[in-house]
Amino acid sequence: MPVVTRVTDLIGRTPLFELATTATGTRLLLKLEQFNPTGAAKIRMAREMVLDAERRGLLSSGGHIIESTSGNTGLGLAVVAAERGYRFTAVVDHHACKDKLRAMRAMGAELVFVADEGDDNLATSAREDLAESMAAAQADAYFTEQHNNDANAVGYYAVADELLEDVDRVDILLSAVGTGGSLFGTATRLRQLGCPPHVIGVEPVGSIAFGGPGGPYWQSGTGTPPGATIGTAVDYSLLDEGVKVSDVAAFATARAVAAKLGLMLGGSAGGSVYAGLTRLEEFPAGSTVVTIVCDGGEKYLDTVFDDDWMSDRDLLDGDTEREVLGLLDRYSPARRKQLVEAR
Ligand SMILES: Cc1ncc(COP(=O)(O)O)c(C=O)c1O
């Protein structure tokens, strides 16, 4: 690693972790994006959106960036704004994880809330409306508008480049869909590189991008709540399957993986991993399945990893945690290696 002078120079080259392997050699690999600065994938697209705005003359020196964020995009933009001398305002709600909000403030971001303290509903639509009107009212302001910004997906092209440096091919790309940037940006670039994957999007039960009834959900950063508009970053032309995972299954998976392996996954990654583990044997023998882990579990110590918070919301489910522990055991890459060596 070279010695660097900017935090954004530390973006990327995140590790791949083999979580599970079947007897037929199908592997579930996790791209651990929590190893980026801010502990999340979104700093990749935050940087790209700002660079793109600069190139297009939409942001001038000392200008003002405004974005509606559930937290991780805001963290990324806070870093980029601090480095490049911009003012940054994050339009947020109280559904966002408190530590993400505190960290944004620490890095100089101004926070504007769309709801009162105590109202922890996800308010994507209200956030976006306010961010748009704030930007329209100020001459030097630029609304990065992550849901409809092409630079969002482009920010993830490097994920595909890095994947193909580490493995020969990606047969199945299976990941959470919020704005869609990470899944569809990575899929687009894999196609460009001659390795088109089967693309499986994962959203929480209650999210509306893949149809079905809308409703509340607790998985943070992912999904499209009822009433919100699905942006252009969700590229349905690249989507082979859209699946839904409940909060209970997503959080049980994050908890089981932490307890069994000491690997802390965020709730949205828990959802993707649950979808991957429960379907692993359905995939063609020898497949390489990749999940982009958007962030780590350390951000959710007060929620997903807090028994009281979980049981107050009826989200604790020992049976599902045991189901996931059983799958991790059955597909343990270390155990599989021992079995092969013993033969
Ligand atoms: C924790 C987490 N998971 C999943 C996502 C969804 O990623 P994308 O917006 O690229 O679809 C996000 C995006 O903010 C996130 O913060």
DSSP per position, 107-168: TT-EEEESS-TT-----HHHHHHHHHHHHHT-TTEEE--GGG-HHHHHTTHHHHHHHHHHSS
Going from the Cα of 292 to the center of ligand 1, the distance in angstroms, rounded, reads 10
179 in contact with ligand 1, CB cutoff 6 A: yes
> Which residue among 31, 42, 100, 299 is the active-site one?
42
Ligand 1 binding pocket mutation candidate from 100, 238, 294 (most atoms within 8 A of CB)? 294
- Contact 288 CB / ligand 1 (< 6 Å): no
pLDDT tens, residue order, the chain (343 aa): 789 999 999 999 999 999 999 999 999 999 999 999 999 999 999 999 999 999 999 998 999 999 999 899 999 999 999 999 999 999 999 888 899 999 999 999 999 999 887 788 878 889 999 999 999 999 999 999 999 999 999 999 999 999 999 999 999 999 999 999 999 999 999 999 999 999 999 999 999 999 989 999 999 999 999 988 899 999 999 999 999 999 999 999 999 999 999 999 999 999 999 999 999 999 999 999 999 999 999 999 999 999 999 999 999 999 999 999 999 999 999 877 787 788 7
> 299 CB less than 6 Å from ligand 1?
no
Residue 94 phi, psi (nearest 5): -85, 0
Q: Is 42 a catalytic residue?
A: yes
The residue nearest atom 12 of ligand 1, judged by CA position, is 221
Residue 72 CB–ligand 1 contact under 6 Å: yes
Q: Is the CB of 146 under 6 A from ligand 1?
A: no
Across 81-115, b (16+ Cβ under 10 Å) vs e yields: bebbebbbbbbbbbbbbebbbebbeebebebebbb
Residue 260, classed as helix, strand or coil, is helix
pTM of the model: 0.96
What local confidence, expressed as pLDDT, does residue 340 receive? 78
Instruction: Please tell me the distance between residue 221's alpha carbon and the centre of ligand 1 in angstroms.
Output: 5
Residue 189 C-alpha to ligand 1 middle, in angstroms? 18
Asked whether 294 lines ligand 1 (CB < 6 A), one says yes
